[in-house]
Structure 1
Amino acid sequence: MRPGVLAVILMAAPLLTGCLAEPDPSPTTALGSGPAAAGSAPSTSAPLETTQSSNKAPVYWIGRSNSSIFLYREFRDVPEQENPVTRALRAMMSDKPLDPDFFTPWQNPGKLATSISGKDVITVDVSEDAFNSNLDADMAGRAVQQLVYTATAAAASSGLIDSGQQIRVRILVDGHTDYVAFGHIQLGDLMTRAAGMVAPVWIIDPQENTEVAAGSVKITGRSTLSGGKLRWQILRAEEDGTKVPFLTGETTAAVEPGQAGLFTLALTLPAGDYELKVAQAGTGDQPDQNEDSRAFNVR
């Protein structure tokens, strides 16, 4: 289970398809600092979100699953004064995640602007104060990818770019291309989404602490293992605050093109406070892996 506090750091919403990265051929259990972490283009980039009608901004956060760090997405209500990419990045740098298990190392910048050139290049120009966090090289690489994922998600889901092609991001700092982000990652070159960065199991809907109507409750999510078995559990809060098992079950992630990895649960739940847990099912003596959890209320 991801801890609520990550001591190493100083310091779902509308359903979209194609929102997860392809799994690494050999997932790491520690934070690596190779090309994926640094933000260079992998051989196959992570698929983009598809266009959706909601005006909520897709924002990526950083969270822990087992001993690895991954990106998780939330949809946030944001002011509409700026373009979709700018307002999503501003939320990423200045807001707090809904889920207390997530965090962001970015700081609220004094200046932030974005533009799109051609059909496949997003330019982000941000002031230096956004990088005022003390990170090691591994976390710095993930923070840069957090920005790349958020910028490309916002552009794709708002229809500003074609999600059927690889989208690249150039990060400028105060208009310059030679900045070293968090003291570790050289910026200026075009970057793409690094595969393997998103969480292996991802609850999309409901989002953290949202309220849903009693009766049939629809739960959606994704797994990086298309066709893989998932185990889920619903815990219900008692009057004394303790959480007790309420429902358990298994499901299988979809394998169909365009729906790969998707899982859906339709559960009948009475009014109450609940916690949902979903994990990739272990095989043999292996325990379940990569659990994601979500608190929500039924009223």
Structure 2
Amino acid sequence: MLEIQAARGPAHEAKASPFQPGKATRVPETPTPRTAGRASRLFRARGVLGLLPALLLLTGCIADAGPEPTLTANSGTDATGSAGVPSTSAPLETTQSSNKAPVYWIGRSDGNAFLYREFRDVPEQENPVTRALRAMMSDKPLDPDFFTPWQSPTKLATSISGKNVITVDVSEDAFNSNVDAEMAVRAVQQLVFTATAAAASSGLIDSGQQIQVRVLVDSHTDYVAFDHIQLGAPMSRAAGMVAPVWIIDPQEGTDIAGGSVKITGRSTVPGGKLRWQILRTAGNGDKTPYLTGETTAGTDAAQSGVFTLALSLSSGSYELRVSQTDGGTGEEPNADTRNFNVS
């Protein structure tokens, strides 16, 4: 069971809403509420060995997912995150010209917890990996459905070796949260995904090699993160951590010019059927179903699982909901939602 004691307020649960399959049609009114829950803090540290140096190299590339990490969990939970998590593939970031930092957060869906990504504006004083991790540990997600167990650290530094090992050296106050073993696994993978995404999108890693992340705490190895996960060994992205469905654009709270609104997202099931719904948000917060339809996730290797919608929307506030389908049973598992405005 995933548990996290809230210290900063509630983090939102993933929401479910009925969809009308078929072509885009207007549907009857059904208000849709949002719920919430947030993460909290308390720590325990261990550190015994010496500093691990690494050299930062600039090599333009695409991120690659390596084998599952070789962590150990004191509680006996498999630190690859396989406990209670369905097997899914992890989307890979590519080099981009934008200065926005890719940051992963934790969100709940259908009783489970997955990683979701946002692109954030960050200061440029630090290298791309450091500033992405600092945003992950210090900022709040744009989407209120997401949360993070991490705390803002006193010290944070990163480097990349010639063997594509990202070394993160962070102070122990970053782990000041009281979480169970399964949430600790997700928090550590949140760091791994964010570090590798930042290195990939900024062109700092070599896609021809396995990409791994080693975490030091106050320059020492063998720290036990969140009192459950022993750090120090190189870790890779773990399949099954990334959300089965996630909306990429628009981001939460985005203002979009009227006319054709482009929506993009990703599913971990290439070629899988997806249901989508647009709800219009009234001034009092009530949500009215507006449009609904179905789409199919891409199967092309370069765009595996990607889906795109182009919708004509008048000015107003909207909520987008996208979910997988469940074999004609009427269920909409693993829904992701996003609120945005059209001017």
TM-score where L is the length of structure 2: 0.77
For residue 258 of structure 1, give the secondary structure of its aligned residue in structure 2: helix
- Residue 68 of structure 1 deviates from its aligned partner by 0.7
In structure 1, the gaps of 5 or more residues are 12-17, 25-31
1:219 aligned to 263, 279, 282, which one? 263
1:273 aligned to 317, 332, 339, which one? 317
Matched residue count: 281
Could you tell me how far apart the structure 2 residues matched to 1:188 and 1:168 are? 12
123 and 45 in structure 1: CA distance in 2 versus 1, 3 angstrom threshold:
farther
Matches within 5 A, 1:88-237: 88-237=132-281
Q: Considering only aligned residues, what root-mean-square deviation do their CA atoms show, in Å? A: 2.5
Contact 1:278/1:292, CA 8 A, preserved across alignment: yes
Per-residue deviation, residues 233-290 of structure 1 (Å, max 9, x unmatched)? 0000124431111110000001111111000000000100000000001213251110
Could you tell me how far apart the structure 1 residues matched to 2:94 and 2:262 are? 21
Q: 1:6 aligned to 2:50? A: no
Per-residue deviation, residues 162-213 of structure 1 (Å, max 9, x unmatched)? 2354200000000000100010000000000001100000100000000010
Q: What is aligned with 2:121?
A: 77
In structure 2, the gaps of 5 or more residues are 1-13, 16-33, 42-61, 69-75
Q: Which has the higher contact order (CA 8 A, sep 6+)?
A: 2
Could you tell me how far apart the structure 2 residues matched to 1:281 and 1:207 are? 23
Amino acid aligned to 2:99: N
Q: What is aligned with 1:15?
A: none
Flag the structure with larger Rg: 2
Q: Which has the higher strand share?
A: 1
- Residue 130 of structure 1 deviates from its aligned partner by 0.4
Q: Percent identity?
A: 73
Contact 2:245/2:334, CA 8 A, preserved across alignment: yes
Could you tell me how far apart the structure 2 residues matched to 1:35 and 1:67 are? 19
Contact 2:263/2:309, CA 8 A, preserved across alignment: yes
273 and 167 in structure 1: CA distance in 2 versus 1, 3 angstrom threshold:
same
Amino acid aligned to 1:210: T
Q: Which runs of 4+ in 1 moved over 4 A?
A: 18-22
Contact 1:21/1:224, CA 8 A, preserved across alignment: no
Contact 2:82/2:240, CA 8 A, preserved across alignment: no
For residue 99 of structure 1, give the secondary structure of its aligned residue in structure 2: coil
37 and 21 in structure 1: CA distance in 2 versus 1, 3 angstrom threshold:
same
Contact 1:20/1:46, CA 8 A, preserved across alignment: no
Could you tell me how far apart the structure 1 residues matched to 2:175 and 2:313 are? 44
Could you tell me how far apart the structure 1 residues matched to 2:282 and 2:126 are? 44
